Amino acid sequence: MKIAMLGTGLIGTFYTMSLHGLRSRDKVVTVYSRTEERGAKFAKENNIPKSTTSLQEAVSDPDVDVVVVGLPNNLHKEAIFAAVDAGKAVLCTKPLARNAEEAWEILQKVEEAGVFHGYLEDLVYTPKHLKAHESVVNGAIGKVNWVRSREAHPGPHSDWFWNPEESGGGAIIDLGCHCIEIGRSFIGKDIRPVEVVCWADTQVKPIAAEDNAIGLVRYQNGAIGQFEVSWCFRGGMELKDEVAGIDGSIRIDSFLRTGLEIFSAVGQKGYVVEKAETDKGWLFPVGDEVHELGYNCMFADMFDSIEAGKQPTEDFYDGYIVNAIMDACYKSAKTKKWEPIEFKEWRGKENVEPLSAFVEYDENNWLVKEELLPDGRKKLILKDKTSGEILQRVE
């Protein structure tokens, strides 16, 4: 694939590192930057033949097969529309848009034009997530009833993130989009999210948007997706997920304290890892950062899907669903109530049965819990089916 990279910030850098390091036949052939100096420097550092400050020139380049949008959130719609009008496949970083209305307009544009579209939600492509997801699909933990996803760090790296007019919000729009889609991935993207309750506040930073938030997303089958996000966490970037099923559980630490630890009294003298606050003391670098963050598997899925003429794991419809959930979260944070999630179109299952995993002990009792005591005896907690009485039995 020959790629036009729109954006030369941190995400554009990570994307280009992944693209040039993953499959040798995929290359960024032109880069768009809003500043000529930065574009020329980025092109030279990454061995890219062309750079331009013209968005139209970048997406219309006849050498380009795929446009990758790595721009601030307020520029996504303009860039995607330009790419679609040029007849190019288009991939967009998260979140798809600043709100669900904008995301819906983007989705309608790509679908009416019939162009390939991929939503670059990297955290559902991390090696650990893919392995955990495979275990869930294979039934290792039974039906999933609860997912907790947490992303926290000291705050984003560019000024536009901190301006809600440009970004669409604060920590929820920046980090919550990751956590919400991780929850959907484990619970089932065909299970409808129906309502949310969310707390959000500006506790630390002198900004107009929220710097901390916690939310619950309730799904039609009764499962709960929980997210926790912060722009005020000290000590690096924390990416943690927990998945609870009827028959087991999974815990994932994708980035911080994952096995590689270095102590430096004098300092490493340079970049350690994304969102690291210091290069001295205990450091927690990541062996292959772009791989551990999911970029390699994500782009492999995107380009393999283009070549095979199939839908990728994440497309713009997924981005729209996430935006709609976040809209409800922002509303709930203001009303302090559970708020319904509104979709212009739902493409998943309808009338899903509630989660049920009651285990029958015998014809008269449900099994509540079974426990082995220190002396070797087995304790059973039962519920009488008729009376509802909770009983205890030791064997």
Does the pTM surpass 0.95? The reply is no
Query: What's the rounded Cα separation, in Å, for the pair 12 and 69?
Result: 8
pLDDT tens for 276-316 read: 888 888 787 887 888 889 999 999 999 999 999 999 999 99
At 25, the pLDDT band (50, 70, 90 cuts) reads confident
At 22, the pLDDT band (50, 70, 90 cuts) reads low
Domain ranges in the chain are: 2-94, 124-288+319-340, 359-394
Level-2 CATH architecture, domain 124-288+319-340: 2-Layer Sandwich (3.30)
Position 23 pLDDT exceeds 60: no
Rg (CA), the chain: 23
Level-2 CATH architecture, domain 2-94: 3-Layer(aba) Sandwich (3.40)
Residue 2 tokens, joined = 């020959």
Q: How, if at all, do strands 365-372 and 359-360 pair?
A: antiparallel
pLDDT tens for 200-259 read: 999 999 999 999 999 999 999 999 999 999 999 998 899 999 999 999 999 999 887 777
pLDDT tens for 106-118 read: 999 999 999 999 9
Q: Nearest 5°: phi and psi at 55?
A: -60, -45
Identify any residues that bridge with 212 across adjacent strands, giving them in sequence order.
201, 230
Query: What's the rounded Cα separation, in Å, for the pair 178 and 103?
Result: 16
- Percent with pLDDT over 90 in the chain: 86
Cα 47 to its chain centre, rounded Å, is 30
Pick from 103, 88, 106, 76: which is nearest to 3 by CA?
Answer: 88
Is residue 23 a contact partner of residue 44, using CB atoms and an 8 Å limit?
A: no
